[in-house]
Amino acid sequence: MAKVIVTGGAGFIGSHLCDKLLSSGHEVLCIDNFLTGSEENIAHLQDDTRFQFINHDVITPLPDQLQAEYLFHLASPASPNHHSKISYHQLPMETMLVNTAGTLNMLQFASKHNAKFLFTSTSEVYGDPLEHPQKESYRGNVSTTGPRSVYDEAKRFGETLVAYFWRNKGLDARIVRIFNTYGPRMSTADMRMISIFINQALSYQPITIFGDGKQTRSLCEVSDTVEGIMRMMFHDNTKREIVNIGSSNEHTVLEYAEMVKRLTGSTSEIQFAEQLPQDDPLKRRADISKAKALLDWSPVVSLEEGLQKMIGYYKSQK
């Protein structure tokens, strides 16, 4: 049993990670300021004596008396939809700071306390990729000033900080680049593609697709993502490694819309609307051969099973 800190532990992925760590026998200290997460996501853990929560903004350093052997740094807004109140577009300064100053604070804490460190980066560091699928060695096609730069470039600098700490300070650290993840506890206000489609289908509104629907997405169910994150932290051979965690199973946006419509039993029409938002990548798919080789990891939850779970959660939120 180890003492583990999870920043962003009241968020979508973080709360599932807390569940998994507790069920694996660890003690969890969850740190969150509820910027985009919620108390509800961790309410079921409050009676577990191995679970502790601290309401803290990681842009300021952690209290020095805290202890940890492992630190997972997940805190950051993650939704790219301009219209979502929890998106990084609506929270630009918070997003830039949590991934840069926040990451520096967490690295300094890990270094001082000799804790193993994991940073959740993103496939967005690849930008609108010119290489398909994306391997970890691909350096990306990212705008420093475009609408998504507050997230993409902050994550890229976060990675730079992590690499500085492993190179210059000898910190035992690693980076996961998470690709689109979906599942229960993804906020109904998130407004990423699958969240919008399920909300629309459940309220019998038209399911809207931007562009012609031929753009592709690969989605990974959250339990698979969390398993990848766990292996990345706890396997022996992951120090100083950068690994993609995501699904390589590509579907068109139209296929997702049709599947959501079928699984919800909705009568919603599928409608095509406007053009694609600026900087919306047309294609992105993880090359997960490194995760397979290093972690013996690949997603196991089928799209249909994953969508059923998420639809069940969205129904429970109505």
Ligand X SMILES: NC(=O)c1ccc[n+]([C@@H]2O[C@H](COP(=O)([O-])OP(=O)(O)OC[C@H]3O[C@@H](n4cnc5c(N)ncnc54)[C@H](O)[C@@H]3O)[C@@H](O)[C@H]2O)c1
Is residue 314 part of the annotated active site? The answer reads no
Q: Tell me phi and psi for residue 202, to 5 degrees.
A: -70, -25
Near ligand X in 45-74, by CB under 6 A: 57-59, 74
Told to check if 76 binds ligand X by CB under 6 A, we report yes
Q: How far is the CB of 157 from ligand X (least distance, A)?
A: 13
Which SS3 state, helix, strand or coil, does residue 241 take?
coil
Q: How far is the CB of 121 from ligand X (least distance, A)?
A: 7
Structural tokens at position 303: 């799209």
Q: Which is nearer to ligand X, 4 or 266 (CB)?
A: 4
Told to check if 120 binds ligand X by CB under 6 A, we report yes
Of 233, 225, 253, the C-alpha closest to 294 is 233
Told to check if 223 binds ligand X by CB under 6 A, we report no
The one-letter code for the residue type at 23 is S
Q: Which is nearer to ligand X, 122 or 200 (CB)?
A: 122
d(CA 104, CA 110): 10
Q: For residue 36, give the DSSP letter.
A: S
d(CA 113, CA 24): 22
Q: Which of 70, 126, 151, 182 is catalytic?
A: 151
Told to check if 10 binds ligand X by CB under 6 A, we report yes
Q: How far is the CB of 19 from ligand X (least distance, A)?
A: 13
| Residue 137: other Cβ atoms inside 10 A | 9
Q: How far is the CB of 229 from ligand X (least distance, A)?
A: 9
Strands of the sheet containing 27-32, edge to edge, are: 51-55, 27-32, 3-7, 70-73, 116-122, 173-178, 242-245
**Among 4, 8, 232, 253, contact with ligand X (rule: CB under 6 A):** 8
List of residues contacting ligand X (CB under 6 A): 7-8, 10-14, 31-37, 57-59, 74-78, 94, 98, 102, 120, 122, 178, 180-181
Catalytic residues: 151
